[in-house]
Amino acid sequence: MVQVTIWGSLATATGDQTEVEIDASTLRELLDGLAARYPALKPQLERGVSVAIDGRIYNDSWFTPIQEDSEVVLLARLKGG
Amino acid sequence: MALDRKTGTAPREFKIIGTRPARPDGIDKVTGRARFGADMSAPGMLVGRVLRSPHAHARIKSIDSSAAEALSGVHAVVTRADFPAPGEDVADILDNCMAGEKALYDGHAVAAVAASSAAVARQALKLIKVEYEPLPHVTDVDAAMAVDAPALHEGRANETVPDGHSPNVMARHAFGHGDIEAGLAQADRVLERSYRTEATHQGYIEPHACLASMGADGQADLWCCTQGHYMVRNTCAAILGITQGQLRVTASEIGGGFGGKTTVFLEPVALMLAKKTGRPVKMVMSRAEVLRATGPTSSSSVDIRLGMTSDGRITAGFAELRYQGGAYPGAPVDMGAMSAFAPYDLENVRTIGWDVVTNRPKAAAYRAPGAPMAAFAVESAIDELARDLGLDPLEVRLKNAAREGTRASYGPTYPAIGLEATLRTARDHPHWSAPLGPNQGRGVACGFWFNFGGDTCVSLNITPDGTVNLSEGNPDIGGSRASMSMMAAEELGIPYDKVRTVIADTGSLGQNEVTDGSRVTFAVGLATIEAARAAKREMCKRAAQVWGIDEEAVIWEDGAARPSGPNAGEHPPMTLADIAAIASNTGGPIAGHYEINAEGAGVSFATHMVDTEVDPDTGAVTILRYTVFQDAGKAVHPSYVEGQFQGGAVQGIGWALNEEYIYDDNGILQNAGFLDYRIPVASDLPMIDAVILEIPNPGHPYGVRGVGETSIVPPLAAIANAVSAATGTRMSDLPMSPPKVLAAIQAR
Amino acid sequence: MSKIHVTTTINGDPVDFLCDPGETLLDVLRDRLGMTGSKEGCGTGDCGACSVTVEGRLVCSCLMLGAEAEGREIATIEGMADGETLHPLQRKFIEHAALQCGICTPGILVAAKSLLERNPDPTEEETRYWLAGNLCRCTGYDKIIRAVMDAAKDMREAS
């Protein structure tokens, strides 16, 4: 199980939990797992999120490995200028 | 010294990285030969022009273009009715390029014409009859959040917005951790203050321009100035209902972007006119059109609550940020809310961001989108509390600075970062201890930006005479071709001038993310290094073949393949040119290519220091001295890194002191020109000292971090802190134009 | 609308063109003569990207009519280098990295050349005020001012 930190305004979709546990070993499994367990997260997941894994930020790479003890933080989708 | 992940962790001596060679496009740009967006022509070309709404908000009841179409020299008129129904992902973009049921801001495109000359096109626009039903409008973010404010859209708010809000509120974002009230209770002093910033424009000197052609077979070509021609291709193909493969986009030289050229405005319209007329169509915006209808940044209204102990420890930080993003959802308030407190190690931090629509042009990205306004509020508040408590504002920042292992206010734990280094260097710099005169004040502020990577595809080809052509897909906006040539030359061990880098069209490479998010030197650089490594592997293979030894027994060193190891035997090294010359005999052309979604860009921090003098009689602010301290990871071409620091700082100076969108009571923009929308000029400024720090990014082979955006984040607050120090009164409303400063002095 | 026949000299070359009475010199240069080195950043004389000299005087070509070129000597960015040899200002702009995007560069070079013809030894302040009519959004002007001052120094030493 991977512990995932989600940001404040998403907690309404997780029953006010900002830390949730998902069974995942890749980024794709993580996002699929979140959507399956918390369907209310789906609109935001579809709009896009970034994910910080051990301090590095990932956007799309499905098969990025996630270790059990990785720090995983969901972020609003980053956009630059 | 950077660490090279691929070849171990030993510090690496660079030969070319860190030097300052001439840029490859230099001569073209100093002789007038470089071709920008408006500099291209085609045989039989028509001129396209856009008719724009004179109303801030109006229902479009009808458009009658018959008189215009009957005018001699007019070849086509295009309105929204000509475009297919858009998919959800491009609906707002199309609506911004060509209004549908409503005109949503002064300057919103409602029709376009293609004619034989600019004079005929102008005349034709006057003949298009648009029947408008004017509607109530709103341009201020706080007014737009009132429950009874005029509504731009119905039912567009997403699920994050609680019931009972204005229909102009599109989204709510909340971040943070800890307990704000408990944190504030531990503070010796608590500050509550509100801050406002006005909308500013990216202000690139080159107006948007493009040249489109489209055949009856659906194949289309587009030349345009853009930060991302792959984005233009994908967006225009979706809007026009053609495939991406049918549309080839070539990026012209780009005359500035700063985020403002990360979307489309004219391009789909030009393609539609070209389709209807069967002729090439060129469109160029006027400056007034650029200001009225292309992306400024958000204006903002921010409330801060900040608690500090008497020894300068921040016990809690709270920010509520309201950004208006113009007529469509997407104000960068989520970025503002994530970055607001990012430089600090806080136990209790919370930010709430509101994305609000108003009757203004759709906000486009502007250099570190969303971050400068948030930093303005937070860095002003820290400064004010520090001064109130009699503490050194720089030491307070050092005391609270985020460092490796700090949990960032937006969630993750930082790896090695450079904030402390910028603060310590700033504290030890002669600027910090230089004396100040009467009416002068010094300000300091920190800034943060995420930096991005993204899809990247490059191709590196070795010519038969042993030189190198590098093709990449990111428009060069500030010297990046030089940086790519340097990284390729460094990796291959050949001189810089043996590499020529070009920006390839969309038909020549795979998908490339836009030139944004300070990604190019990081991501395209990474791909370039890997492409060069692929070419080196191939060259080692060719040499092994010639020598009749194992590939593994050949290494690449100093621009040549060399035998290595006990069983390799004695062979004279083969240089890149030697191997290139016999490429046909050893298997054919030699190339290296690399495709990646580059993840893992390193965040970047800066500290800015500024001295200002305020004229007590007029309120005019003079910038006396300015120093930027920023972490570049590794500066590939230090001159262009300095240039990014200096340019960002000066855009921030404009934002802080002069620049603003001014609307009248009817929602009409009053200053749509460079005379009244005043960006900094040479005589406004001193030299901008740039101090480059190098804390390597572990995510890049040479340690490179993006540098382009962070430099616009600290100036707003640094200058406000300096002006507040000079006047003895807190400036919390930008721009600090002379009338506002004078009023503040008089109210003191 | 009948066109006006204009005979003029541009960068030393005799040039004839027809233009509309209301057409600016900038439009003539760019659209009729294919000389796109002069840029249009504003069309209202505020940005200086279209700077040229007329009889040695610095003007915004967007504020002058094409018809007014009759019988005059016009100099544009395209005439600044001497064949393969760059003008010292052009050389110094590359050396100092005084351009990022490069759109303002032609106008700034034309304006800086005009400054140095009048004042071969300008102070930093004089340089900043002379160039105050040329907007640059990329550089913050630092490296531009350094390049102009350095070119002036080289030119003084060479003369």
Please name the member of B175, B415, B449 whose beta carbon is closest to the beta carbon of A55.
B415
Q: What is the pLDDT of residue B1?
A: 31
Instruction: Tell which B residues from 90 to 129 touch C, by Cβ distance under 8 Å.
Output: 118-119
The domain made up of A2-76 has a fold known as Ubiquitin-like (UB roll) (3.10.20)
CB within 8 Å: B175 and A57: no
Torsion of CA B741, B745, B746, B747, to 10 degrees: 100
The reply to whether B453-598 shares the fold of B299-451+602-746 is yes
* A46 touching B (Cβ < 8 Å): no
The domain made up of B453-598 has a fold known as Aldehyde Oxidoreductase; domain 4 (3.30.365)
DSSP letters of B371-400? Answer: HHHHHHHHHHHHHHHHHHTT--HHHHHHHH
Q: What is the pLDDT of residue B743?
A: 97
Torsion of CA B197, B369, C144, B440, to 10 degrees: 30
pTM passes above 0.80 = yes
Cis peptide before B566 (omega within 30 of 0): no
Select the residue from B23, B28, B30, B628 to test the C interface by mutation, using most C Cβ atoms within 10 A: B30
Q: Name which residue leads in pLDDT, A9 or C94.
A: C94
The Cα of B682 is separated from the nearest Cα of chain C by a number of Å equal to 5
* B172 touching A (Cβ < 8 Å): yes
Are B78 and B124 in contact by the 8 Å Cβ rule? The answer is: no
Which residue of chain B comes nearest to A52, CA vs CA?
A: B412
How many angstroms separate the Cα of C12 from the Cα of each of B128, C9, C33, C84, C88?
45, 6, 15, 17, 20
**Structural domains for chain C:** 4-79 (3.10.20.30), 88-158 (1.10.150.120)
Rounded to an integer, what distance in angstroms lies between the CA atom of residue B161 and that of residue B174? 11
* B206 touching C (Cβ < 8 Å): yes
Contacts of B404 in chain A (CB under 8 A): none
* B643 touching C (Cβ < 8 Å): yes
Provide the residue ranges of all domains of chain A, joining segments of one domain with +. Answer: 2-76
CB within 8 Å: C105 and B38: no
Q: Do chains B and A touch (3 or more CB pairs under 8 A)?
A: yes
Q: Do chains A and C touch (3 or more CB pairs under 8 A)?
A: no
Residue A42: CB atoms within 10 A of its CB come to 14
Q: How many CB pairs under 8 A join B and C?
A: 190
Structure-token match 């599109």, residue found: B170
Residue A76's pLDDT band (cuts 50, 70, 90): confident
Provide the residue ranges of all domains of chain B, joining segments of one domain with +. Answer: 46-135+208-284, 299-451+602-746, 453-598
Backbone angles phi, psi at B199, to 5 degrees: -65, 140
- Burial track B22-59 (b if 16+ CB lie within 10 A, e otherwise): ebbbbbebbbbbbebbbbbebeebbbbbbbbbbbbbbe
Q: Is B652 helix (H, G, I), strand (E, B) or coil?
A: helix
Please name the member of C44, C90, C100 whose beta carbon is closest to the beta carbon of B479.
C100
Farthest CA pair distance, chain A: 36
Q: Is B507 helix (H, G, I), strand (E, B) or coil?
A: coil
SS (H, E, C) B681-710: CHHHCCCEEEEEECCCCCCCCCCCCCCCCH
Please name the member of C96, C99, C137 whose beta carbon is closest to the beta carbon of B203.
C137
Contacts of A44 in chain B (CB under 8 A): 159-160
Q: What is the pLDDT of residue B2?
A: 37
Contacts of C76 in chain B (CB under 8 A): 32
Contacts of residue C2, defined as CB under 8 A and 6 or more positions apart, other chains included, come to: none
Q: What is the mean pLDDT of chain B?
A: 96
Average pLDDT across each block of 10 residues of chain C; the chain has 159 residues. List them in order.
94 98 97 98 98 98 98 98 97 98 98 98 98 98 98 96
Rounded to an integer, what distance in angstroms lies between the CA atom of residue B681 and that of residue C141? 8
Instruction: Return the sign of the alpha-carbon dihedral for residues B478, B482, B484, B490.
Output: negative
The Cα of B95 is separated from the nearest Cα of chain C by a number of Å equal to 26
Farthest CA pair distance, chain C: 53
Contacts of B483 in chain C (CB under 8 A): none
Residue B194 has which token pair?
A: 């509100």
Contacts of C127 in chain B (CB under 8 A): 682
Structure-token match 């998403």, residue found: A10
Residue C150: CB atoms within 10 A of its CB come to 18
Instruction: Tell which B residues from 681 to 710 touch C, by Cβ distance under 8 Å.
Output: 681-685, 687-688, 690
Rounded to an integer, what distance in angstroms lies between the CA atom of residue B464 and that of residue B589? 8
Contacts of B415 in chain A (CB under 8 A): 54-56
- Name the residue among B204, B203, B201 with its Cα closest to residue B253: B204
Q: Which helix (H) or strand (E) holds B136?
A: none
* B158 touching A (Cβ < 8 Å): yes
Which residue of chain C comes nearest to B650, CA vs CA?
A: C140
Instruction: Return the sign of the alpha-carbon dihedral for residues B567, B569, B575, B576.
Output: negative
- Name the residue among B303, B302, B368, B378 with its Cα closest to residue B335: B368
Rounded to an integer, what distance in angstroms lies between the CA atom of residue B651 and that of residue B678? 11
Q: Which helix (H) or strand (E) holds B362?
A: none
| Chains contacting B (3+ CB pairs below 8 angstroms) | A, C
Per-state percent for chain B, helix, strand, coil, to nearest 5: 30, 25, 45
* A75 touching B (Cβ < 8 Å): yes
Single-letter residue type at B651:
Q
Q: Is B115 helix (H, G, I), strand (E, B) or coil?
A: strand
Q: What is the pLDDT of residue C56?
A: 97
Helices (H), B244-370: 267-277, 287-293, 333-339
CB within 8 Å: C102 and B255: yes
Can you say how many angstroms the Cα of residue C135 is from the centroid of all Cα atoms in its chain? Answer: 13
CATH of domain B46-135+208-284: 3.90.1170.50
Are B90 and B141 in contact by the 8 Å Cβ rule? The answer is: no
Instruction: Return the sign of the alpha-carbon dihedral for residues B503, B507, B508, B512.
Output: positive
Rounded to an integer, what distance in angstroms lies between the CA atom of residue B622 and that of residue B658? 12
Rounded to an integer, what distance in angstroms lies between the CA atom of residue B482 and that of residue A31? 39
Q: Is C93 helix (H, G, I), strand (E, B) or coil?
A: helix
* B452 touching A (Cβ < 8 Å): yes
Sheet holding B499-503, edge to edge: B499-503, B468-472, B454-462, B590-598
Structure-token match 């060399």, residue found: B562
Rounded to an integer, what distance in angstroms lies between the CA atom of residue B27 and that of residue B691? 28
| Chains contacting C (3+ CB pairs below 8 angstroms) | B
Contacts of A54 in chain B (CB under 8 A): 412-413, 415
Average pLDDT across each block of 10 residues of chain B; the chain has 748 residues. List them in order.
39 90 97 98 97 98 98 98 97 98 98 97 98 98 98 95 96 96 98 98 98 94 98 98 97 98 98 98 98 97 98 98 98 97 98 98 97 98 98 98 95 92 98 98 97 94 98 95 98 98 98 93 96 98 97 96 91 98 98 93 93 98 98 96 98 98 98 98 98 91 93 98 97 98 95
Torsion of CA B694, B700, B702, B704, to 10 degrees: -40
B676 HSE (CA, 13 A, CB side): 11
CB within 8 Å: B599 and A64: yes
CATH architecture of B299-451+602-746: 2-Layer Sandwich (3.30)
Contacts of residue B375, defined as CB under 8 A and 6 or more positions apart, other chains included, come to: B339, B340, B445, B446, B447, B448, B713, B714, B716, B717
